[in-house]
Structure 1
Amino acid sequence: MKVLVAVDDSRGSHRALAWVLDHLFFFPAAGGDGHGEEGLEQQVPRPEREGPELVLVHAMEPLHHVMFPVGPGSAVYGAASMMEAVRAAQAENARNLLDRARLICEQRGVAAATAVVEGEPREALCRVAEDAGAGLLVVGSRGLGAIQRAFLGSVSDYCAHRASCPIMVVKPPPDDEDDDGPRTSS
């Protein structure tokens, strides 16, 4: 099975990757109930032939034309060279982000492939899940309340309704704060 994990620079994304590594790529050590003396689960890496294939995916938002105000009631579009520089910086950030996530996987003994897709994240993630033949798409949740979801939209909600494969949304703990501040409601 191919497991795709959506990776960005949010805490929700980090929680989703950690959950996948903890639950899909490790299992309790043989013997007993898998708990040590202090009740901590001892984990052993799964043999590669048994485990699912892990793919870390980052959706890179499309660049929109940049306009700068040059005076009252007038604006100028950014130069093509500036747009290329911004695009190159975006691609470099995506590579760095995926390299850090892959390093986390390697430190846990799990090999992971990476992919950068372009487009609005919610649509790009659904598209790559279908194109890759994913068996599971895992996304983090920012813990937005109902009103925030209505105005800001929710990548996880969109994917849950439109992805071609099963989707798992890793929610923040109830007492946790999301990336934008404290949770108000769910």
Structure 2
Amino acid sequence: MEMEREMEKRIVVAVDESEESMYALSWCLNNLLSPNTKSTLVLLYVKPPLPPYSSLDATDYLFAGDVIATMENYGKGLANSVMSRAEAVCRDSNTTSIKVEKKVGTGDAKDVICVAVKKLQADILVMGSHDYGFFKRALLGSVSDYCSKHVECPLLVVKRPKFLV
């Protein structure tokens, strides 16, 4: 099993709702994977956590259980939508021999990605760049910047060319 693992490459691609992440996935399929290499492509989507809530809202009315269920269903629907788009990108590429796995996590994206990459024993992590400016990055933080400092495997950040925007 260990010998088989050595020959197989595990590439984790972090995907989200953005065009940048789909471009990074497409770039990965066209540039990192070849039909001759035994590889597993792991599509990783991280759902944001549900906001903390109280059973009472600001007007002291009880939250109905269906409100919370609706929020959970929205998160599941978003995950399904992202994964469907990612699968379509994979189908459109000519990499039919590549094994594709889908993983969905919940929480802060930067933490979930770092833990998943370690648990999956990834050989490389591929992410798209949202290309935030200095101020937006300072306020929001950069998931790829955090991952570059905390993942134990190489990280490839793919920047979408301006002419495609």
> The TM-score by the shorter chain falls in which range?
0.7 to 0.9
Q: For residues 124-168 of structure 1, what are the alpha-carbon distances to aligned partners after superposition, in whole Å with 9 as ceiling and x for unaligned?
A: 111100111011111111101122111111111111111121111
Alignment of 1:68-83 (within 5 A): 68-70=57-59, 78-83=63-68
Give the conservation status (yes or no) of the 8 Å contact 1:8–1:58. yes
Query: Which residue does 1:134 correspond to in 2?
Result: 122
CA–CA distance in structure 1, aligned partners of residues 31 and 130 of structure 2: 20
Q: Percent identity?
A: 30
For the pair shown, the structure with the greater C-alpha radius of gyration is 1
CA distance in structure 2 between the aligned counterparts of 1:76 and 1:22, rounded to whole angstroms: 53
How has the CA–CA distance of structure 1 residues 132 and 3 changed in structure 2, closer, same or farther, with 3 Å as cutoff?
Answer: same
Could you list the runs of 5+ residues in structure 1 that have no partner in the other structure? 27-45, 178-186
Aligned equivalent of 1:63: 50
| Kept after mapping to 2: 8 A contact 1:6/1:125 | yes
Q: Which amino acid aligns with 2:18?
A: S
**Deviation, structure 1 residue 82:** 1.3
**TM superposition shift of 1:174:** 4.7
TM (normalized to structure 2)?
Answer: 0.82
Aligned match for 1:13, one of 9, 16, 21: 21
Q: Deviation at 1:105? A: 0.8
For 1:107 and 1:174, the matched residues in 2 are separated by: 22
Instruction: Please report how far the alpha carbon of residue 9 of structure 1 lies from its aligned counterpart in structure 2 after TM superposition.
Output: 0.9
Count of aligned pairs: 152
1:17 partner letter: L
Query: What is the match of residue 88 of structure 1?
Result: 73
2:86 corresponds in structure 1 to 101
| Secondary structure of 1:18's aligned partner | helix
Equivalent residue in structure 2 for 1:122, among 103, 110, 113? 110
Specify the SS of the correspondent of 1:117: strand
SS in structure 1 opposite 2:125?
strand
Aligned CA RMSD, in angstroms, stands at: 2.0
Quote the Cα distance in structure 1 between the aligned partners of 2:150 and 2:84.
28
- Relative to the length of structure 1, the TM-score reads 0.73
Runs of 4+ in 1 over 6 A off after TM superposition: none
Aligned residues of 1:136 and 1:166 also touching (Cα < 8 A) = yes
| Partner AA of 1:120 in structure 2 | D
Distance 2:75 2:19 in 1: 19
Deviation at 1:61, TM superposition (A): 0.8
Structure with greater helix share of residues: 2
Q: Is the 8 A contact 1:60 1:90 kept in 2?
A: yes
